[in-house]
Structure 1
Amino acid sequence: MELDGRVVVVTGGTRGVGAGIARSFLAAGARVVVCARRPPEEAVRVDGREAHFTPVDLRDPVAVGEFFGVVAERYGRLDCLVNNAGGTPYRLLGEGESEAEQHARVIALNLTAPLTASLAAYPWLREARGSVVMIGSVSGTRPSPGTAAYGAAKAGLENLARSMAVEWAPDVRVNTLVLGMVRTELSHLHYGDEDGIAAVGATVPLGRLAEPADVGAAAVFLASDRAAYVSGASLLLHGGGERPAFLDAATANKET
């Protein structure tokens, strides 16, 4: 198994994309620690191997520092940090009370927290000549109406990864997975029933939403020796991207 004996931390690794990433690392032979504010309803496991859960609030620098100290003490090393934790509610700019603070919290979770975690993990990653994998989003590469702060944070995360890759070379590699739409246990909240999910998937050139395992496989690659010369890179994992709106408009115009 290509990551036998290596130690990986996946933030937000208790469900959805994070759990899929954790399972992929477990399947590759790594010892995996997942963290979140609340424990998972079910342990994250695959083929009889289980990820260890530790609660931590990633927005608390002191708690984050203590968390990585415990990981290093327990396992004696740290080979990869996957900064997956994040997310946002739908909120248009200029609507609601305490708007600035709400958007600031989104940025804190999606940009400041990965920076905090990476800095806390750096001494052990440097010792292991390990890597950081940032989980970005296509929302950071295009307009993101309704999730503007999230999109801005993800754009910043990608830039942060490139700067880290230069500053921390050659000891620590840093890369970003830029995700499109991923099917998780919460997809029905965004896209409706199975027909709605299929309809949204049909807009992707590859004809479906990504699965968490697709993300996990890409993360394992970036953490492995096969990516030994990959650093400062942004890998688009979006099934070919989004169909440009002008193509649909042109088709509709021909039909009329």
Structure 2
Amino acid sequence: MAAITDLSGRVAVVTGGTRGVGAGVARALLEAGAEVVTCARRPADQPVEAAGRTARFLPVDLRDGDAVAAFFARVSAEYGRLDVLVNNAGGTPYRPLREGGAARHSRVVELNLLAPLTASLAACEQMRSRPGGGSIVMIGSVSGSRPSPGSAAYGAAKAGLENLARSMAVEWAPDIRVNTLVLGMVRTELSHLHYGDERGIEAVARTVPLGRLADPAEVGDACVFLASERAAYISGASLLVHGGGERPAFLDAAAGD
């Protein structure tokens, strides 16, 4: 991807960019030439590196509006610009709706919907003041468009995030483009928490038409594209990065009769 998209001189922020999908996104942006700042509440055990360069880490609690505004103002002041925001931070534990109570489910919505809204508002204030504006990429999920038992609050938040991105794309045009990457299953260091051991991961991978889970680097490549001039006329879009989706269950049921 770096061969056809050059982000040299651009400054990008990746929330939750210290591991998993976020680290893959940060590496892809580094390889494309961007200066990359990652943020989370705590730093990773190892710095995120690629192409002989290292992403900078700054701590911030994305649920704290004042801290988030100060974070983006600092990035803009120290680098002289802000071009790209990838709203990656999020996730959820497995928790049926009747377990945990409304407060715990609300925290899932806060992390996966309200935190990206808070970050985007703060980034917008920095992006809109410079020529060329900027690009915001939301990391969405197929859970936002299908039933998500055990992660219903997460699915609802991701559905809201996709709609939020479309509204932002209209309100903030033409200065800022806003798009969503709708992810399917991605293989990360935490995959075993969702799919079990290696056999479980392989079994789940066989349900994907392309026969495997995505690599974080492939999500990163899609982010680089949406952040680049190659996507200059793309805004308010949802790009599916899910390997073809899920094989319809009725096909296997019919084959078994």
The two structures have a TM-score, normalised by structure 2, of: 0.96
The within-5 A match list for 1:120-199 is 120-126=122-128, 127=130, 128-199=132-203
Could you say which residue in structure 2 is the equivalent of 1:66? 70
Find 2:236's aligned residue among 218, 232, 237.
232
SS at match of 1:38: coil
Q: Where in structure 2 are there 5+ consecutive unaligned residues?
A: none
In structure 1, distance between residues paired with 2:50 and 2:57: 14
The answer as to 2:95 corresponding to 1:91 is yes
* Residue 193 of structure 1: how far off its partner (Å): 2.4
The answer as to 2:99 corresponding to 1:106 is no
SS at match of 2:12: strand
Tell me the percent identity. 75
Residue type of the partner of 1:157?
L
The answer as to 2:256 corresponding to 1:246 is no
The answer as to 2:72 corresponding to 1:49 is no
In structure 1, distance between residues paired with 2:194 and 2:183: 16
Q: What number of residue pairs does the alignment pair up?
A: 251
SS at match of 1:117: helix
* Residue 47 of structure 1: how far off its partner (Å): 2.1
SS at match of 2:140: strand
* Residue 95 of structure 1: how far off its partner (Å): 2.0
Could you say which residue in structure 2 is the equivalent of 1:79? 83
Residue type of the partner of 2:104?
Q
* Residue 59 of structure 1: how far off its partner (Å): 0.3
Residue type of the partner of 1:208?
R
* Residue 138 of structure 1: how far off its partner (Å): 0.2
* Residue 118 of structure 1: how far off its partner (Å): 0.3
In structure 2, distance between residues paired with 1:170 and 1:69: 22
Flag as ranges the 4+ runs of structure 1 deviating above 4 A.
Answer: none
Q: Where in structure 1 are there 5+ consecutive unaligned residues?
A: none
In structure 1, distance between residues paired with 2:176 and 2:168: 9
* Residue 200 of structure 1: how far off its partner (Å): 1.1
In structure 2, distance between residues paired with 1:124 and 1:247: 50
The answer as to 2:116 corresponding to 1:117 is no
